[in-house]
Structures are given as C-alpha cells and as structure tokens.
Chains A and B, each alone.
Chain A
C-alpha cells in the first residue's frame, strides 16, 4: 500500500480523497493556492504545500509545481480528483515519468476519452449504438449540409475536443448551419485548441443515463450500475440518483453490457463513467466516456456499499476487481443534490462570501460530502460547488422524503445557495413519478435560462 499520496485538487473532492486515504492508513499531502489556505482539505491533510498565486493556471493546473510538491514531500502517488488535471493525459504521463502512480486511468484511456469523435468511432466499432450522424469529422459547411440532409434536422454540431456540454450548437435549418459553421470552427479552435467538428442528429430532451465502470490490471472490467443524471441546467448536473426510475431490468442489462463493451474496447483501467442518452422510445446511444472519478460517485457507493476512491487506490496498485460481474451488491436507492453557491431566484448569480451561519443536516439515511464550515470564506476563483447532500434508503419514495427533510435542516447563510431550487424539484409531481428528462429544469428556471 502507498505510504503517502498527494491530492492534486481542492474543495470537497480533496476532502473525500483524504478521508479514504486516512481509512487506509495512507499519509496525505494537500496542495492549495494562496486563496485556499483556510481550505478544509489543508486542515485535514498530514502535510500541505502552498502553491503561490490564486489562479487555477498557476496552482491546481500547474503540472510542474504539483510534481515538485510530490517530490519534495516524498509522495508515491497522486490522486487528481475530478476537473483540473484529472483528464490531462500529459499530466498522467508526467506522473509516470516522475515515478509516481497516477490514481486513475492510463494516459491512453484519457487521450481516447478526450477525443469525443474517436471515442464514438470506437464504440460504434464495438457494436454499441451511437447517435445517427456521428462517425467522421466534418471539414466544410458543404459537407455539414450534406450530412444534415441525410440524417435530418434538427442536428447538433459538436467540437471533438469538447464534451461535458461544451462546444455544442443546435441547428434547425440549412441557412443557420451554413452561416454558423465557420464560427463554430473558430470557437472550437479558441476554446479547445482543436477545431475538429462532427455532426449528429439532435435528440430533444433525452434522458442522461451513465454507468460506473471499474477496470483492473488484468483487463477485467465490471460495471456498478447506472446513475440517472437528467436534472441538469446548461449541461451541469444538479441532482443525480441511482438506480434510474426509467430503466427496467432488460434495458439496464442491455445498457450495462454496452457500457462494458465500450470499456473493454478501450482497455479501460481504473474508474470511469460511460454516458448514454436515452430517448422516449427506450433507444439508447453512447455519448462519451469520462476518464475520472465523477462528482456524483457517492450515489453509486450508497447502493453498492463500495468505496470508489478506495477501489481506485487499490486498483492503481495492481489489485484485482473484488466483484464479479453479477455479484455487485444492489441495495435500495440513493440520491444526491449538488448545493452550489448560486442564487436560483436571481439568474443563478454566483454568491461568494463568508458562511456566517452553518448547520449540517444529519440522521439516518443522510451523507454529506463538503469542504465548507461555519466561518468559511468561499473564494470567488473556483467553482461554486459547496456541498453534495446524499440520501439513501430502501426505495425512491423514502429517499425523496429524507432528502426533503435534510434540505430543510441544512442552513448555509447568508450566501445564496441552490437549496430552495432542490426543494422545489423534490416537491414536483413529475419528479416524484420519475417522469423527467434533460429539459425538466426549464420548469424551474427563467425562460431564457436552462
């Protein structure tokens, strides 16, 4: 087992990783920007290294400084968390070169997963359904128009280096597509340093269903069931649950097998997530694979009893998968609300500042993953996630009840948070019935939002 792991991240995920390490008897090193000196991850780690500056580019994204911190502290491994350098293949490779274990997938996995078009080609070759149209890059407006005519409008033009909802444009007709094609290319070049675009049919208001996969050194891959992530605003998830109320055993089986085929085709190692979209006729299509531990991993943990971060650590050392496909435990239901420092009543304007009054929810069926505390000053330079409130229970109804109770107990003031929005969502009849899709949030936000 490792003696020491450096956590190359901040906020709640850094706290999460440090806790898993503590449980395994592994010493931890936190890194922090100057703006994060009061971060909870710093207080919890055995050692900490302050990276000068406050900008992500100078700190959490600075490969050299992070590797230096790992060298200086004698760390054997680095856990990148999610975001930041988690899906940076250069970082993963540099870790290996530097003699550090990178706790996550291989640089090859990261590279393939990051090329959204190539990943889709791989999936299609493995016999997994992909959205009609995706198959090759489109290099000219004329080509785009031809493909669009074939597959039928509306279509979506996507940046191959994008993903996670970024670099996507919807077109309902020829004229717009022709006009905006060069702009989309330029935008992709600027945002991702890669102007490769591809076209696919636009599916309106699909559901977003993803499968957690784990791969070990021997090439075995299993999945730990699905997560339902359709409650999203601007492609950012707000509320997730496991299992999905939309899947019956047959569909779950089919999609699960498809997820495994994609992972096996990629020789996937360690933890990852295979994302699908599901239309209203039970057709599913591979979207992308995320080569990292995800924000919403706790809902899978609660229904399987498996600590995914500990699994990542074990697998990275060459450990074998502890479960056979089919023997993964399945216990009840779990749900997660992402509590962000945003004002849902005011265009989701960010709300930094000091948390003057804080009271955490608790009780049976409640789990809270957070880095905030009373008196904590939320820095304005990083993302707005404050806490993940997770509830679990024997069935969906009881999980919703517990979540409503926990949200009512949760006090974070005077900063604005998304707690009121979550309460409204949980009170909605459509949500209770499990009858929602990615357009659902529009019922709760301003018309020009979502």
Chain B
C-alpha cells in the first residue's frame, strides 16, 4: 500500500511552539509515530494557546515550522506519512 503524505497546517496566524513549555521536551520529533488526535504542537494566537492535533495515525516525516517563530494562516507546520 502506498504511503499518503498528510500536511498539518496552521488554522490561524500565530506563534508556533514545539514544546508544552520551555522546560519540557518537544511534543514530537521527526520519525515519531503518532496517533490520531495526539498533540503535535501548540499555536498561540492573541495570547490564547491552541493544541494542534494529528489528523491521522502516522509518522512525522518533516517539521517545517520553526519553534517560537511566527506562522501565517494556513502555513505548513509539519508533514506526516500515513498508510
């Protein structure tokens, strides 16, 4: 079965965070297997934090956005691979 490439994009403009807090490790790394609805990262918009959850069961093949950098509406954050 061919793998499908799934893109995770920012639902809103904001600031991208890979960790729950500066002291914690990142939610995910490239190569990690994730389940559907697992938290991948945080997006902060106007002081409100949103958890960005995986839309599928799969594997993280690319983390495009940079930690603590700004992202635009619909900007590509991560790429997953799913069966």
Residues of A that sit less than 8 Å from B by CB:
35, 54-55, 190, 341-342, 348-353, 380-384
Cβ–Cβ < 8 Å partners of B33 in chain A: none
The answer to whether A381 and B15 touch across the interface, beta carbons within 8 angstroms, is yes
Q: Mark B36-76, 1 if CB is under 8 A from A, else 0.
A: 00000000011110100000000000000000101001000
Residues of B that sit less than 8 Å from A by CB:
12-15, 21, 45-48, 50, 68, 70, 73
Main secondary structure of the interface of A (DSSP, over half): loop
Query: How far apart are the CA atoms of A342 and B21 in the complex, in Å?
Result: 24
Smallest CB-CB separation from A382: which chain B residue?
Answer: B46
Cβ–Cβ < 8 Å partners of A380 in chain B: 12-15, 45-46, 70
Query: How far apart are the CA atoms of A351 and B45 in the complex, in Å?
Result: 8
Query: How far apart are the CA atoms of A190 and B21 in the complex, in Å?
Result: 10
Q: 14 new A-B pairs (CB below 8 Å) besides A349-B48, A352-B46, A380-B45?
A: A55-B15, A190-B21, A341-B46, A348-B48, A350-B48, A351-B12, A352-B12, A353-B73, A381-B15, A381-B46, A383-B46, A383-B47, A384-B47, A384-B48
The answer to whether A352 and B13 touch across the interface, beta carbons within 8 angstroms, is yes
Closest 8 CB pairs of A and B: A350-B46, A384-B46, A380-B13, A350-B45, A380-B45, A380-B14, A352-B13, A350-B48
Smallest CB-CB separation from B50: which chain A residue?
Answer: A349
Contact of B12 among A55, A348, A350, A382 (CB under 8 A): A350
Q: What are 21 A-B contacts with C-beta separation under 8 Å?
A: A54-B70, A190-B21, A341-B46, A342-B46, A350-B14, A350-B46, A351-B12, A352-B14, A352-B45, A352-B73, A353-B73, A380-B13, A380-B15, A380-B70, A381-B14, A381-B15, A381-B70, A382-B47, A384-B46, A384-B47, A384-B48
Contact of A353 among B13, B47, B50, B70 (CB under 8 A): B13
Query: How far apart are the CA atoms of A389 and B14 in the complex, in Å?
Result: 26
A162 → chain B, closest Cβ, in Å? Answer: 16
Cβ–Cβ < 8 Å partners of A382 in chain B: 46-47
Indicate the member of A35, A348, A380, A382 with the most B CB atoms within 10 Å.
A380
Query: How far apart are the CA atoms of A190 and B14 in the complex, in Å?
Result: 23
Query: How far apart are the CA atoms of A383 and B47 in the complex, in Å?
Result: 6
Query: How far apart are the CA atoms of A380 and B74 in the complex, in Å?
Result: 14
Indicate the member of A341, A381, A384 with the most B CB atoms within 10 Å.
A381
Query: How far apart are the CA atoms of A12 and B31 in the complex, in Å?
Result: 46
Smallest CB-CB separation from A341: which chain B residue?
Answer: B46
Query: How far apart are the CA atoms of A55 and B45 in the complex, in Å?
Result: 12
Cβ–Cβ < 8 Å partners of B21 in chain A: 190
A103 → chain B, closest Cβ, in Å? Answer: 25
Query: How far apart are the CA atoms of A381 and B13 in the complex, in Å?
Result: 9
Query: How far apart are the CA atoms of A137 and B25 in the complex, in Å?
Result: 33
Cβ–Cβ < 8 Å partners of A54 in chain B: 70
